[in-house]
Structure 1
Amino acid sequence: MVKIALDPTPFHHTHKLLEFPKLAADLGYKYLQMTPHADFIPFFNHARADDALVKELKKACKDVGVEIASTLPVLRISSPDPDAREAAVRNFKRVIQITRELGVNTIGTEFSGRPEKAEESERAFYRSMEELLPIIEKEGINLFIDPHPDDFVEDGMQAWRVIRGLNSKHVGMVYVASHTFHMGNNALEIMRTVGSRIGITHISDTMDHKRSHGLRYITNPPGNAIRVHQHLKLGDGDVNWDEFFGGLKEIGYLDNPNAIMCSSVFAENEKNVETAVFQREAIEKYIAKFG
């Protein structure tokens, strides 16, 4: 069955890095997804973890029977700025080392380019992957990429075409449910097209920002180049969860023991414990419903 993982981001203000494994176990999770953290792999910068800390984290997981399902760096590998891109590639190489030292073979990430410089960002992405892909393949890493809102590619089908262009079975796609309405609101088409190359899904809800003639969210002045989405509890937004889980069942995702389904609610830190338990139970119910 699919791995159900906890994104510990809502607990960054209440727990330390090495407390995350026991926290996950206490909340009923068997897996963690290691998203950006100031003491581990921060946003956009070099990893802060040395080998000693990586060993401590690995031991903390073993002590409570929790596994790390994946690491999730966010680095500017598609930046049109040459210095930023080159630094991101160097930083990503260290992430690969850390991932392997943890005994993990899965990395999730974002394209991390700029929508106003889409062509330049795409060129930067392929340039970075020319250097990273041989290492990824040699190390036996599976890399999955999320077309995040405010990236050079946001549409789900377009993102798959960019990924497919790498011509490597080691690279696939992250489907973030709360990005559904930026990706084209066509979950089944994306799932059926990408199929087994979807390796990570993030479970959080969001409102459809395009409803009410685009006036659900109003920013001033009109025409601001902003992206609006939330990471809400499952059921608190407009994502069609029957379609989502039904589509994943159709492509074999729910029965794949290597697939990762991560709870990623960021809107309710004040209720982080209750929300994490709710998310796990809701995910389990949907899996049972379609299993």
Structure 2
Amino acid sequence: MQFGFSTNAFREYQLEDAIEAVADAGYDGVEILLDEPHLYPPDCSREEIERVADVLERHDIAVSNGNAFMLTAIEDFHHPSYIEVDEGYRQKRIDYTLAALETAADLGLPYISIEPGGPIPEGKSREWAMDTFVDSLERVVPRAEELGVDLLVEPEPDLLIETADELLALLERVDSERVRCNFDAGHFYCVGEDPAELVDPLWEHTSHYHLEDIPADRSHEHTRLGDGAMEIDAFLGELETRGYDGFVTVELYPYEETPVETARAAMDYLEERGWA
């Protein structure tokens, strides 16, 4: 398998500098944050795409994933979502996703990761939220199919889709092979599931994996590898057993004050344990 590191830990850095730092730390790939301050699709020019491609080539590093989850350019990590009550506000997330698909295609990426619906609005039922999310996805799926770029739904604690079963139920409702899974090991651990045990049931639906450690109380706090309570070796062992040769991206966005050191420490951890 190959390892990447997400630039969402480098939000105090220019994208070019973040890519260089991740490459220097020894990673095979870099996850690009498709949001400000890095590569925000609605404002992305052809020249900017070409500049990023040149930087990637110069540092001989691939893109492990296009992260189209966060949307701080408009509000925050979770809003606007695919399930906003206000249709105009919801459309902003849909339009952003369409733009992210275009940017991904321009960079030659096979997929982007997206929000799992969003927080269920106060006063709305889960059924309403699921119906609304499916409707939102159906508005972006046709373009994803035209471009050949997958939409990887990333289950997350406290959002509409949290668990493996909820994800599988969603995939049954969306009639497109372009809608798949971004498997975040820490997120599943937070909601009481065992990431290692989920590799098999989600295998055929997963294109990319996120990795971080999580505290023993299972609070949603992305923690440096080895500093939490997750059985990381067991999870990576399941991927190795299956011959997984795609990307596992380390995602440690809370460490924006020390991203270079954090990226290097994560690679040291992976190397010391024989994974990288």
Structure 1 SS opposite 2:112: strand
Give unpaired runs (5+ residues) of structure 2.
Answer: 72-80
1:282 corresponds, among 253, 266, 269, to: 269
Amino acid at match of 2:96: N
Alignment of 1:66-77 (within 5 A): 66-74=61-69, 76-77=81-82
Bigger CA radius of gyration: 1
1:127 — aligned with what?
A: 135
Do the aligned partners of 1:181 and 1:209 also contact (CA within 8 Å) in 2?
no
d(CA) in 1 for partners of 2:274, 2:195: 17
Do the aligned partners of 1:38 and 1:48 also contact (CA within 8 Å) in 2?
no
d(CA) in 1 for partners of 2:148, 2:179: 11
2:113 — aligned with what?
A: 108
Structure 2 SS opposite 1:71: strand
Judged with a 3 Å threshold, the aligned counterparts in structure 2 of structure 1 residues 189 and 27 are, in CA distance, closer, same or farther, namely closer
2:4 — aligned with what?
A: 5
Count of aligned residue pairs for this structure pair: 263
2:203 — aligned with what?
A: 195
Structure 1 SS opposite 2:109: coil
Structure 2 SS opposite 1:47: helix
TM-score normalised to the size of structure 1? 0.81
Matched, 1:62 2:57: yes
Displacement, 1:11?
Answer: 2.2
Do the aligned partners of 1:40 and 1:47 also contact (CA within 8 Å) in 2?
no
TM-score normalised to the size of structure 2? 0.85
Amino acid at match of 1:247: E
Amino acid at match of 2:179: V
Matched, 1:256 2:244: yes
2:104 corresponds, among 71, 85, 99, to: 99
Displacement, 1:100?
Answer: 0.8
126-135 or 184-193: which moved more? 184-193
Do the aligned partners of 1:18 and 1:57 also contact (CA within 8 Å) in 2?
yes
Alignment of 1:162-241 (within 5 A): 162-209=170-217, 228-241=219-232
Judged with a 3 Å threshold, the aligned counterparts in structure 2 of structure 1 residues 242 and 19 are, in CA distance, closer, same or farther, namely closer
Structure 2 SS opposite 1:283: helix
Structure 2 SS opposite 1:233: coil
Amino acid at match of 2:63: I
1:216 — aligned with what?
A: none
Matched, 1:144 2:152: yes
Structure 1 SS opposite 2:183: strand
1:47 — aligned with what?
A: 42
Amino acid at match of 1:194: L
149-158 or 90-99: which moved more? 149-158
Give unpaired runs (5+ residues) of structure 1.
Answer: 211-227
Judged with a 3 Å threshold, the aligned counterparts in structure 2 of structure 1 residues 134 and 54 are, in CA distance, closer, same or farther, namely same
d(CA) in 1 for partners of 2:244, 2:202: 15
Amino acid at match of 2:165: M
Q: How high is the sequence identity, in percent, across the aligned residues?
A: 20
Amino acid at match of 2:223: L
Displacement, 1:79?
Answer: 2.7
Superposed CA offset, 1:91-114 (max 9, x none): 211111111111112111121322
Displacement, 1:69?
Answer: 2.3
1:220 — aligned with what?
A: none
Displacement, 1:249?
Answer: 2.9
Matched, 1:86 2:74: no
d(CA) in 1 for partners of 2:92, 2:174: 21
Judged with a 3 Å threshold, the aligned counterparts in structure 2 of structure 1 residues 163 and 284 are, in CA distance, closer, same or farther, namely farther
Q: CA RMSD in A?
A: 2.3
Amino acid at match of 2:198: I
Do the aligned partners of 1:202 and 1:264 also contact (CA within 8 Å) in 2?
yes
Do the aligned partners of 1:80 and 1:120 also contact (CA within 8 Å) in 2?
no
Superposed CA offset, 1:173-215 (max 9, x none): 12222213333323244222111322221111111436xxxxx
Amino acid at match of 1:176: D
Do the aligned partners of 1:157 and 1:190 also contact (CA within 8 Å) in 2?
no
Displacement, 1:239?
Answer: 1.0
